[in-house]
Structure 1
Amino acid sequence: MDLDAYVAEHRGEWRRLEVLSRRRKPTAAEADEMVLLYQRVATHLSVVRSRTPDPALVAELSRLVLSARAAITGAQPVDWQRVPRFLAHDLPLAIYQARRWWISATVCFLLVASAVAAWVIQDPTLPRAFGMSEADIDSLVQHDFEDYYSEHFAPNFGLLVWTNNAWIAAQSLAAGVLLLPVALILWENALSIGLTGGLMIGHGRADVFFGLIAPHGLLELTAIFVAAGIGLRVGWSWVVPSPLLTRGQSLAAAARQGIVGAVGLVGVLAVAGLLEAFVTPSFLPLVVRDAIGVLVWAAFLAYVFVLGRRAERDEEPLLAGSGRSVSVRSAAQG
């Protein structure tokens, strides 16, 4: 079967079904037309699956069939049985498939932060260019940086940290469609961490800096990098869309999977917030606090790479069976 010809022949019906399924109150004639088109598109999906199982096209038709079915049958109650599958398959898959983007974001961030820190260590006058006086520097190094983690009531501090980091992650995800704003957000945060780290290290307080950053920072920063990577992947999906999808459809497919990652990151950042509020300022020995942070971070990476890789291997049969797991690898180009 010539897939391009098949798509060209039926694309009009798919678009019409998508329009009808979005109508809040279709007329009787439109409802009849939607049922007819739903049956046809379900047949098209079956044909594509059996003859030329292109992942992006199968995902798009599966979504369309499900949307039409929901419009025809009405809203369904929340399926709590989906939660285990979301945690064991959908979420790690969404993060894993964006790994090239967020690992690249991590490397770039660390290079910038390290370069700024090294510059500050070599040139102690540099912080003045950022508007910091000698009194500001001395206050930061001697007590402000350390006091920040213990000056607030722990539950309130955890909530504050969570909302702040969630806001940064949300900005990174939302700005991903434009690509460049994500780079700007990461750049600003890399400058901030590099400047602070350079001052602490340059004044002989490297142990305090890394000791207080490690318990929560490993997971927290990784979550922000993941958000940025998913956002960049969504943005790239309309720059280089799948040949079988329009730019809008490619963007929509990537964005749907990006939403899965965004929902999961809310929980990840909540864990990071708890670590920052209760573990970082605790009276536990520094090595124990750091070990807790490293273990939690390693567990998150294992969760993503072990379950994500497994989910990717099982993606096509799962998609063929349920039509719910949406792969946009070709739509988002990696």
Structure 2
Amino acid sequence: MNIQRWIARRESNWQRLDALLRQLERKGLKSLKSAEIRELASLYRSVAADLARARTQQVSNVLVHNLQSLTTRGYSQIYQGSRRQEWQAVWDFYLWGFPAIVRTTFSYTLTATALFFLGLIVGWWYAWQDPTFLSLIVPESLISQVRDKGELWMGSIVGVEPLASSGIMINNIKVSFGAVAGGITAGAFTTYIMVFNGLLIGAIATLVGQNNLAYPFWAFVFPHGALELPAIFFAGGAGLLIAKAILFPGQYRRGDALKFYGYQAVQLVFGIVPMLVIAGIIEGFFSPNPIIPDPFKYLFGLGLFIILVIYCNRKRTSANS
């Protein structure tokens, strides 16, 4: 191979790649047109091949070093830039995408919420009317602690907060994922999870109410419940979306409906997980803390719920796009 002729033929590509990289490094990806981005990727692959050839030929160390520098810069901008774009996409999803999918699928979340509150009302009513109903829903040890000792069970969390918090997160995520996956049973298991959890809360509400512990109980529930319960409702809505694809595909073929509604369900799941992690931390460290006054816990929970409502109503404007 004639080294000088090869260098003369390839040098324009190296100079062009260097110019594009300089522009990218100074002004960022948005400064390049789509054609220039494609050219950058093509030139990077070409120069990487030139570097490999230069290493096998009797080429000066200076040229090899320059080509190595070019490929390193190109790799950094192309691949690390891609990772930055991925992180930007994640940021944009939580900033705008999740609120948008919550609004789009709100009717399904509302249905799941209604199932939960139906169970809650039924559990509360039957527990008041029939004391034996409590033992069918609530663990006997918990009933005994409230009735016989006149105290709530949350004190067991104090002192083992990290362990309790992680256990709470795992349990809540399991419940939520069960509600989502329940959609493949045409929504039957999703409905069961929503109604059963409502029954459980309703029965416990009756138990603590009958033993004059309602105020501290709800003070415990409010802080983390402001995120935990909506997350479970979103999960129920995601399960009902999958159920709709199976039962009522409408204008879609069933497979296409599963892809369409399943994608919406997955977006909800991506938003649910951080909510449950934050709720688990609050439930482990904040909600049972005896130092924090109960009125402040109520205010904290209410404030957190208001922030969630405001967040879910965020809309991307032309200035943000």
TM normalised by structure 1 equals 0.64
- Equivalence for 2:228: 220
Q: Give the 3-state SS of the residue equivalent to 1:284 in structure 2.
A: coil
Query: Which of 268, 273, 279 is matched with 1:266 structurally?
Result: 273
Deviation of 1:119 after TM superposition, in Å, equals: 2.4
- Equivalence for 2:93: 86
Deviation of 1:84 after TM superposition, in Å, equals: 2.5
- Equivalence for 2:146: 140
- Equivalence for 1:290: 298
- Between the aligned partners of 2:212 and 2:262, the Cα distance in structure 1 is 45
Which structure has the greater CA radius of gyration?
2
- Between the aligned partners of 1:187 and 1:146, the Cα distance in structure 2 is 24
Q: Give the 3-state SS of the residue equivalent to 2:87 in structure 1.
A: coil
- Equivalence for 2:204: 196
- Equivalence for 1:113: 120
**Residues 183 and 189 in structure 2, CA contact (< 8 A), matched pair in contact too:** yes
The one-letter amino acid of 1:272's match is A
Q: Give the 3-state SS of the residue equivalent to 1:289 in structure 2.
A: helix
The one-letter amino acid of 2:260's match is A
- Between the aligned partners of 1:255 and 1:115, the Cα distance in structure 2 is 31
Please tell me the root mean square deviation across aligned C-alpha atoms, in Å: 2.5
Q: Please list the CA deviations of residues 270-314 of structure 1 after superposition, one character each: whole Å capped at 9, or x if unmatched.
A: 11111111211121110101211111122112211x22xx35x98
The one-letter amino acid of 1:137's match is I
Deviation of 1:130 after TM superposition, in Å, equals: 5.0
- Between the aligned partners of 1:127 and 1:183, the Cα distance in structure 2 is 21
| Paired residues, number | 234
Q: Please list the CA deviations of residues 195-225 of structure 1 after superposition, one character each: whole Å capped at 9, or x if unmatched.
A: 2111111122211221211111232111101
Query: Which of 76, 87, 95 is matched with 2:102 structurally?
Result: 95
- Between the aligned partners of 1:205 and 1:255, the Cα distance in structure 2 is 42
- Between the aligned partners of 2:106 and 2:269, the Cα distance in structure 1 is 14
Q: Please list the CA deviations of residues 67-94 of structure 1 after superposition, one character each: whole Å capped at 9, or x if unmatched.
A: xxxxxxxxx9442221232112221122
Give 5+ residue unaligned stretches, structure 2. 1-80
**Residues 122 and 202 in structure 2, CA contact (< 8 A), matched pair in contact too:** yes
1:181 partnered with 2:210:
no
Q: Please list the CA deviations of residues 248-288 of structure 1 after superposition, one character each: whole Å capped at 9, or x if unmatched.
A: 01111211222121111110111111111121112111010
1:248 partnered with 2:270:
no
- Between the aligned partners of 1:86 and 1:128, the Cα distance in structure 2 is 44
Shift in CA distance, 197/148, structure 1 to aligned 2, threshold 3 Å: farther
TM normalised by structure 2 equals 0.66
- Equivalence for 1:158: 165
The one-letter amino acid of 2:208's match is M
- Between the aligned partners of 2:261 and 2:135, the Cα distance in structure 1 is 43
Q: Give the 3-state SS of the residue equivalent to 1:81 in structure 2.
A: helix
- Between the aligned partners of 2:92 and 2:142, the Cα distance in structure 1 is 50
**Residues 91 and 261 in structure 1, CA contact (< 8 A), matched pair in contact too:** yes
- Equivalence for 1:3: none
- Equivalence for 2:216: 208
**Residues 182 and 189 in structure 2, CA contact (< 8 A), matched pair in contact too:** yes
Deviation of 1:144 after TM superposition, in Å, equals: 4.7
- Between the aligned partners of 1:266 and 1:285, the Cα distance in structure 2 is 29
Deviation of 1:181 after TM superposition, in Å, equals: 0.7
**Residues 177 and 236 in structure 1, CA contact (< 8 A), matched pair in contact too:** no
1:236 partnered with 2:244:
yes
1:31-46 alignment, distance < 5 Å: none
